[in-house]
Structure 1
């Protein structure tokens, strides 16, 4: 690395860049997953969910751009290729095809569970050395948690239960709410 931002050591910048690259790949994968759901959701309430997903796709794409630019600011080279997603992936590919609103939303809730936990882990890693990056990730996490709340509102019963509660796989969550 030829340079980094003032006040950040090269080794700290590398730590932050590595964390951000994994999150960049995760965001790129999430935006593709959201688009896949958008194209494959069917049944009652289709249009509401179909239209609810598009703004989230745009938000997630913007988050990816922000992280890529932060990587470059720190002296790194962001990788936004399909190969980078595959290389950085520690999660399974989204497993639901054409299916009902409820099935996709239950599966998406699990996707957000994993995504938010990983973003929070990146907050912990970066916050120790770079509060600017930590702040970026905190803002993104807050909005992603809010969107997960929107998803859960479609799934929640009047008693506050989620019909797929306790499911550990996307297919299991989808099966539980069909």
Structure 2
């Protein structure tokens, strides 16, 4: 399938889609990390961290959907399959089993920082390609940066 009316010139659409795809993978994996952490966090202040992880997840899922839909808008099929995410994610593996509060906070902060780093690299690249996609990534990054601040404020 190909759309007849393009919102972005082909010479800019393809590299834009490449940047969006990288961020789609990071955001999907971040959402998986957040859910794994949410289910397995244990320790003092469990409830607060447990609920905070779901708040971050909502932001992440909204960003994921925005990125994937933007790819479609510019004529490219997003790839969020588990095999693609597992193969191409920039995020570190999350621990198995129950994870204490301090380790959870550190791992989630690291995953957020990595995802934000990917977003920021693409924000710079998109400056010459597509300002709409750039603006979308700026908005997502801004929200995740606020979550990072609130997560790492809990580190010892």
Same fold (TM over 0.5): yes
- TM-score, normalised relative to structure 1: 0.81
Unpaired runs of 5+ residues, structure 2, are: none
Equivalence for 1:26? 26
Q: CA deviation at 1:10?
A: 0.8
What pairs up with 1:148-167 in 2 under 5 angstroms?
Answer: 148-155=148-155, 163=156
Unpaired runs of 5+ residues, structure 1, are: 156-162, 164-178
**Does the 8 Å contact 2:28/2:80 carry over to 1?**
yes
Residue-pair matches, total: 155
Query: Using the alignment, how far apart are the partners of 1:49 and 1:87 within structure 2?
Result: 29
Equivalence for 2:110? 110
Query: Using the alignment, how far apart are the partners of 1:149 and 1:78 within structure 2?
Result: 30
Mark the structure with the bigger radius of gyration. Answer: 1
RMSD: 1.7
Could you say which structure has the greater relative contact order, defined with CA pairs below 8 angstroms and 6 or more residues apart? 2
Q: CA deviation at 1:11?
A: 2.1
Query: Using the alignment, how far apart are the partners of 2:70 and 2:132 within structure 1?
Result: 10
- TM-score, normalised relative to structure 2: 0.92
Q: CA deviation at 1:84?
A: 1.9
